[in-house]
Structures are given as C-alpha cells and as structure tokens.
Structure 1
Amino acid sequence: MARQASSRNISRTFVLTDEAAPEKILGFFSLTSCEVNIADVPLAYQKKYPPQHGLPAVRLARLAVAQKEQGKGYGEYLLTEAMVRTAVVAESVGIMGLYVDAKDENARRFYERYGFVVINPVKPMQLFLPIGTLQKLIGESFE
C-alpha cells in the first residue's frame, strides 16, 4: 500500500530498519498533505487563521512499531523524525500544523506527551500539533 501511495504521490512512507538486519522492519510512518476546515482547528487557534478557505497542514497518516519492538523508544524516534520532516516542509510551504488520528487511548496519550492537542472533545482521537509548538520541540531536540 505504501509503495502504491508513494507512486501516486499521495503520501510518503519512511521505514526504520535494524542496522544488523536491514530486512527487519522495526517501524514506519507515513506523511501526507491535507487541507483542514477551520472547524477542525482547536478553538484556541481558530482566531489565527482565515475562516473562508481550507488551511494547509500535514497529516501523520500512519505510525507503527513492530509488536516485538514496542517499548524500546522506536515510536518516539519515528514521531520525532515525522516532526522534523514536517518542520522542513514548513520552511518551504506554509502549513499550520501536524494532524493525527490516534487509534486508541494509549496512542492518544502518546501524542499528547509531545504537545498534540485534541481538536474537539466530541472527537477525542483527532489531534493537532500547531506548527509553532512543533518547531519549538524540534529546536529543543537539536540543542
């Protein structure tokens, strides 16, 4: 699926492999661009953006760590890499942030630890990381 989406320029998937056994996939993430309706922006941020048209953002479409490799920090590494790549995009193209749909409560709490906020209490699994917060986190991780 990742190869098909990439060949159609729908998304890009990045794979983390074991250096000792490159054929062994430890985890991966996929990024895609998206257009966000102002209603899908947390209320605290809505006043910053024009309400009349879609807003550009990046969506973390998938992030997964192999079951046998969970608990080793690979999820944090992959999320950090996704954030770095999003920050690079933001330098060239205006975007407002990074969106993700958490698959469950554990995933939601994982993303919240990195500054993601719930968009709407009615949809608690949809989260948003404002570009300013993302850039600050990335800057801190390289200091």
Structure 2
Amino acid sequence: MNRFEELTRSHNRVGFDCGVQELNVFLHNLAHQNFKKGLSRTFVLTSEDIPEEILSFYTLSIFEVCARKLPQRFSKKYKGHLPAVKIARLAVATVLQNQGFGKYMIIDAIRRAMAISKHVGIIGLFVDATNEDAKKYYLKFGFIPLPDHTLELFLPLKTLQKMYVEVFEKK
C-alpha cells in the first residue's frame, strides 16, 4: 500500500531519480530547506514496504497571480493580485513513470488545495508545465492555459470543488 506524507529527513532523498536533474537537485538539496523556511511543502509517495524510499513527490506553495494574466472569463471578474496554490514541482521516479503515479499526485494536490481553501481564500490551483507533453497531461485534468503564458496552467476553484466532490465525497 502506498501513502502520501510530508517529506522528512528519514526519506531517502538522494536515492530518488526522476530523470530531470533540476527536480532531483531540488529534492536532494532544497525541499527540506524550503520547508524549514516556511516557503513550501513537499509531499512524497512512499510504500509501506520501504517507507524511506520516495516513489514520487510534489511541492505546493502559495503565490499571487495578477488577474490580468488569467483567461478573459476570469480576468474580467477580478482585479489586482489574487491568492492561489501552486504545484511548484512534480516528479515520479524513472522506474515508475507512465504507471499512473502523476494522477495520484494531482488528486492529492487537489485534496490539499481544497483544505487550504477552507482556511485561506484562493482563486485556484496553478502549475507550470515543463513542456508541451506535460501541458497535454495537465489539460486532461481540466487545467486551463494562461493566454500569454501557455505553459502556465490554471484550475479554477469551482473546478477544484467539483473534482473534490467527485473523487472524495462520492465514496
């Protein structure tokens, strides 16, 4: 059985490899530091069999987005800078890629974004796709590209709420 938990020193960060050096370096060197500084939270998927081994991870942070960057149907409703949650990083170990782990991480990120929205107002969940293939993957979940930054994607709060009900409350 696999489970999500917050990254701790007991997790084998150095043993993780997703094939993208930038993501590996972040996990190995910066994720725990960012946690201690209160900048972000990194969540890891582990197995009960080897709880220190990281199968995949993602990082959440809070940020502000300028209303003018949003698609018109949203930008006309809002002004100024808006609070949001961002999936700052997301990676799956190379040996486990293309097996559905990304989907589970996005679902868990949605669950956590909804929990945050109960305590802090947010406009939605954002992610920066690393390339067109990643963008296509996120589009499957309903993410919307920003007009002038097509690799920056957005899931509006109403969509998050609908997905949350479908996934977590209809059990």
Tell me which amino acid in the other structure corresponds to 1:39.
R
Query: Where in structure 2 are there 5+ consecutive unaligned residues?
Result: 1-29
TM-score by length of 1: 0.94
Q: How big is the shift at 1:23?
A: 2.3
> Residue 67 of structure 2 contacts residue 74 of structure 2 at CA under 8 Å; is this kept in 1?
no
Q: Does 1:92 align with 2:115?
A: no
Aligned equivalent of 1:68, options 82, 95, 101: 95
* Paired residue total: 140
In structure 2, how many angstroms separate the alpha carbons of the residues matched to 1:131 and 1:22?
33
For 2:67, the equivalent position in structure 1 comes to 38
Q: Distance in 2 between matches of 1:89 and 1:47?
A: 25
Residues 1:139 and 2:165 aligned together: yes
CA distance, structure 2, for counterparts of residue 105 and residue 66 of structure 1:
20
Question: Does residue 58 of structure 1 match 2:85?
Answer: yes
1:18 to 39, 47, 66: 47
For residue 118 of structure 2, give the secondary structure of its aligned residue in structure 1: helix
Regions of 4+ moved over 6 Å: none
- Contact 2:42–2:58 (CA<8 Å) still a contact in 1? yes
Give 2:151's aligned residue: 125
User: 2:34 maps to which residue?
Assistant: 5
- Note the C-alpha offset of 1:105: 1.3
- Normalised to the residue count of structure 2, the TM-score between the two structures is 0.79
SS in 1 for 2:150: strand
Q: Which runs of 5+ in 1 are unaligned?
A: none
Q: Which secondary structure state, in structure 1, belongs to the residue aligned with residue 35 of structure 2?
A: helix
Shift of 1:118: 0.4
